Amino acid sequence: MVKIVFFDVKPYDKKFLEPLVAELKEPVEVSYLDSKLNKDTVELAKDADIISLFVHDKVEKEMFDKLKCTMIACRSAGFDYVDLTECAARKIKVATVPSYSPSSIAEFAVGLSINLARNLKMAFERSKNADLSLTSKLLGFEMKGKTVGVFGTGRIGKLVCEIFRGFKMNVIAFDVYEDKEWAAQNQVEYVKTKDEVYARSDIISLHAPLTQENVHMIDSKAIEKMKNGVLIVNTGRGGLVDTKALIAGIKSKKIGGAALDVYEKENLSFDHDWFSVEEGIMPDEDLSVLLGFPNVLVTAHQAYFTQEALKEIANVTISNIAEYLQKAKEQPDRSFSLKNAPRV
């Protein structure tokens, strides 16, 4: 019997996964674990034929000798937490969920932008303290007529552009793969360089993949080229932003505000309730600094978190597993490819 272990599973995940697992044609033994997979918990996966992972799991090269799995089913579009080179060497098949309700993330990104533009975090905090007065600190700006720069025009980035156009904003975009027909239909202007996005944008929204070229694309040099008071929104990948450079930009007031749904060191701090005594003290000083700024919003990788997205993640994940089980039966040497294998 095939043994499947799902890591980092919350009750809301299990609600969608369990009925679909029951429909698999192959007999399977399934474990749903709240634990995240990493070098300290790898023993929990040692007997699994298939492991299913989420974004806070980590499969590094030194862990593979303790694994017998022949498939890794990622429950995310990203796959940077899996060592694909080692998987290929060991003929371990990897599948992802390339798209799960792009609207969830796009709508969230635009919502964060509105929050920053109208200083809603500060307004909510003042209201909680029964301060219902107006002050110049709450003075915001209209979206209409402003320029938003979007990095990455995949499914999510395109929807973000289209929503921003609904606010009658000027939308510019940068992507190495330009969809000129779509851009013309939606009045989106592709620009040739990142520097042009930095220089022209009132709001910058990040939806690019985390490639070697894109690591810390928002760094001190990029920030120097931006407009004074620029707003930065990241619902893409945490590593796109150099945290220390971001903090410096906020302190100098070059950056007017930032909203982060992803964070380059989120494995250390996200998915924990640091307010609880049991959890102890947050280990990340940079994140503590960001949380203290009145013009910074931090959400814990929440942009995808809708009923529609969870349903789609479960559907595609189990479909990927079913495809693997069928093909592995037909080709035991695992010489086949999977429909949703990572595209690198």
Cα–Cα distance list, 42 to 5, 6, 107, 151 (Å): 11, 13, 36, 36
The CA distance from 208 to 152, in Å, is 4
CA nearest 282: which of 297, 269, 271?
Answer: 269
DSSP SS3 for 186: helix
DSSP state of 315: H
Assess contact for 10 and 301: CB atoms under 8 A: no
At 120 the three-state DSSP class reads: helix
Nearest to 95 by CA among 4, 162, 173: 4
User: How far apart, in Å, are the Cα atoms of 101 and each of 18, 206, 213, 258, 316?
Assistant: 20, 17, 27, 24, 12
The answer to whether 62 is a known catalytic residue is no
DSSP 8-state symbol, 70:
S
Residue 308 bears catalytic tag: no
Q: Has 237 been annotated as catalytic?
A: yes
Q: Which of 75, 126, 155, 301 is catalytic?
A: 301
Per annotation, catalytic residue among 266, 272, 312, 343? 266
Distance CA 119, CA 211 (A): 32
Q: Indicate which residue of 56, 237, 264, 312 is catalytic.
A: 237
Which residues form the catalytic set? Answer: 237, 266, 301
